[in-house]
Amino acid sequence: MCTQCALGSHSVRNGTSGATVCTACAIGHYADAMGSPQCLLCAPGSFAPTTGQSACTACAINYHQSEQGATTCVACASNTVAVAGSSSCTPCGAGTSLSVDTLTCVPCAPGTSAAAGSSRCVPCLQGFYSNTSAALECMRAPAGVYTSMEGASAATLCAVGRFAASTGATVCLACASGTYAAAPASTACEPVSAGFFANGTGSSAPVSCAAGSFSDKAASTTCTSCAIGTYASTPAAGSCKLALPGHYVNVTGASAPVSCAVGRWSGALAPSAVVGASECLICPGF
């Protein structure tokens, strides 16, 4: 009585005796039916590592095999993936990277990016940021803001008294003496107006000249005391006033003129006068 060859084997006629015998399928082959006359090659995406297989084993996740009759599968290259039983691997798309935990392509986290064909998500450089997932590229920090560290997910506003004039800043600069920046995220500093000053770097507001002093030009770093014969009665003066007839100023930095006492006088000013009277004269015959 004839017996069918078992699964994983096939019948072969013996050339000497003429008898038919069953032989185990070679590696890379299989026989999935009883009495198979021949073994079949494993299809791409599968393999048979030992003889006598009744079925081929599918390649595992992130492994592939493009050939028939394979005995092993090949690991996918960096940043490529494959489902079980794949004949090829697929690159992770732009903005994604292979997760070593899930063995799947996952979106790049904020603060990183991956261009098409990149092998991994890369932290944004200083001066750049990414505030969304799956970014293809990092954005350059606009003027008025900065990022001082790699991997930033947001840009930081320049503080008052500081500025960033160009894009991609890694630090904000302090306003120079004589200038100020009153608002955050400034792209430039403003010169102080006449009557004001800023005597240090990083000023967020101009300071008004005190009464008795003045600054007559923009971007001043200090105020000047009014000279003898002149005065400034209010803060933020751009110039000092001359003491009028009947008055005098005998000190610097005066905020008001002094009236001449009884029996004393100060005369009218010449058209070209730059200072007023510094004293009052005694009236003749007084």
pLDDT at 15: 47
What percent of the chain shows pLDDT beyond 70? 94
Tell me if 134 sits within 8 A of 107, measured CB to CB. yes
Give bridge partners of residue 22 from the DSSP assignment. Answer: 11
User: What is the reported pLDDT for 159?
Assistant: 98
pTM surpassing 0.95? Answer: no
- Residue-wise pLDDT tens for the chain (286 aa)? 578 899 999 988 754 455 578 999 999 999 999 989 999 999 999 999 999 999 999 999 999 999 999 999 999 988 889 999 999 999 888 999 888 788 888 999 999 999 877 778 999 999 999 999 999 999 999 999 999 999 999 999 999 999 999 999 999 999 999 999 999 999 999 999 999 999 999 999 999 999 999 999 999 999 999 999 999 999 999 999 999 999 999 999 999 999 999 999 887 766 666 678 899 998 886 6
Q: What is the pLDDT of residues 194-234, one digit of tens each?
A: 999 999 999 999 999 999 999 999 999 999 999 999 999 99
